[in-house]
Amino acid sequence: MDRVFIEDLTVQTVIGIYDWEREIRQAVSLDLEMEFDIGKAAETDSIEDTLDYKAVSKRLIRFIEDSEFQLVEALAERCAAIVLAEFPVNWLRLKLGKPGAVRGSSAVGVIIERGTPAT
């Protein structure tokens, strides 16, 4: 099955468990792979026949900017649920990172897979 991807979508949000983190906005970075058959879009060359990655990005940006989660795990789950519910996607892999959260590391976070891949 084909996959449409969004890589390194960086959004500012309130995220973290510490008091000081609740008072500032921090960056989170999102990588997303979504299973989608691109065959028809490749044939027609029409945006109506594909998974509009700009629409997915804009929806997630709006959600993440407005959110105030403590854990990246919770934010990742909600982002995955939005994509699966609102777009023609049956399976996705989502990597959500929090850059600079651990000294000496470029980012920490989670990778989740949700939905049922085509066989």
110, 73 in Cβ contact below 8 A?
A: yes
Q: How far apart are CA 20 and CA 25, in angstroms?
A: 10
Question: How far is C-alpha 112 from the chain's CA centre?
Answer: 10
Q: Which of 40, 58, 95, 98 is the catalytic position? A: 98
58 is known as an active-site residue:
no
Tokens of residue 93, six digits: 């892999």
Other Cβ atoms closer than 10 A to 3: 16
Q: Tell me which residues are annotated as active site.
A: 98
